[in-house]
């Protein structure tokens, strides 16, 4: 069953790449496995999926232990508590949800030297809701420069979680705004990652430049 869902989703991503004139295989699938079991992950792994995203550190570490023999690339995508940065820096390859220089510095200091640099995305709040985490567009240029200079981490790009919208055109708008803002920064810092799009808006995200889509529900069913 999970293999069927995975193949259908990958086909949808490949179709969207064609429809929106994106390069073939330019959009990578991140399977979001929060609240799902190690066994659920193992099934998708057997079907070919290698990148998995988790939101809660403790929950993720338990599953990582159970899946120690699997060659999985782990992405942390949830809110970051300062007392968890060391564990995250040690047990993940990517963090998508960095939203302050302070947190980026902690990752830089705590990333073990025997591991390659930790891949980082800055989470940007592109919906105006003040309750959402993420930095504002205004803060982006300065933070980019400061984070890019830190050792042991590698700034890859941005992540966004826009407010749910009903129409495709409305879904595209915030991604487009952020993509254009980041494009302006390209000249000084090489970036290759737009972590845009979830089950409800992945087509709009791909249309506007997503390179990683983070999909839970469409793969594993409702949580």
Ligand X SMILES: *Cc1c(COP(=O)(O)O)cnc(C)c1O
- CA distances (Å), origin 180, targets 77, 147, 157, 194, 204: 23, 20, 13, 11, 15
DSSP 115-149: SPPEEEEEEB--S--TTS-SB-TTTHHHHHHHHHT
Query: 171-200 mask for ligand X (x: CB under 6 A)?
Result: ---------------------------xxx
- Comparison of 32 and 104: residue with beta carbon closer to ligand X: 32
Least distance in Å: CB of 76 to ligand X? Answer: 10
As measured in angstroms, the least distance from the Cβ of 194 to ligand X is 13
Q: What x-and-dash track marks residues 112-151 binding ligand X by CB under 6 A?
A: ----------------------------------------
Cα gap 75→142, rounded to integer Å? 25
Q: Helix (H, G, I), strand (E, B), or coil: what is residue 18?
A: helix
Q: Which is nearer to ligand X, 112 or 221 (CB)?
A: 221
Contact between 93 and 74 (Cβ < 8 Å): yes
Return the number of the residue (129 or 145) whose C-beta is nearest ligand X: 129
Does 28 bind ligand X (CB under 6 A)? Our answer is no
Whichever of 157 and 216 has its CB closer to ligand X, that residue is 216
Chain residues that interact with ligand X, rule: CB under 6 A: 32, 34, 55, 77, 161, 198-200, 214-218
């Amino acid at each position: 069953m999970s293999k069927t869902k995975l193949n259908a989703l990958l086909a949808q991503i490949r179709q969207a790449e064609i429809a929106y004139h994106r390069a073939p295989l330019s959009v990578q699938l991140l399977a979001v496995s929060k609240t799902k079991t190690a066994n659920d992950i193992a099934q998708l792994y057997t079907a070919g999926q290698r990148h998995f995203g988790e939101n809660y550190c403790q929950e993720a570490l338990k599953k990582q232990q159970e899946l120690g023999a699997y060659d999985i690339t782990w992405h942390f995508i949830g809110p970051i508590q300062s007392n968890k940065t060391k564990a995250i820096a040690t047990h993940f390859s990517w963090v998508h949800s960095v939203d302050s220089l302070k947190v980026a510095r902690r990752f830089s200091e705590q990333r073990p030297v025997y591991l390659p640099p930790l891949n980082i995305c800055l989470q940007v709040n592109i919906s105006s809701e003040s309750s959402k985490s993420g930095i504002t567009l205004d803060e982006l240029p300065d933070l980019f420069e400061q984070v890019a200079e830190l050792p042991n981490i590698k700034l890859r790009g941005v992540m966004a979680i826009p407010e749910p919208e009903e129409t495709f055109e409305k879904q595209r708008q915030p991604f487009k705004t952020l993509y254009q803002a980041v494009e302006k920064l390209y000249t000084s810092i090489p970036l290759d990652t737009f972590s845009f799009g979830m089950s409800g808006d992945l087509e709009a995200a791909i249309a506007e430049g997503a390179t990683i889509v983070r999909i839970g529900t469409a793969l594993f069913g409702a949580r």
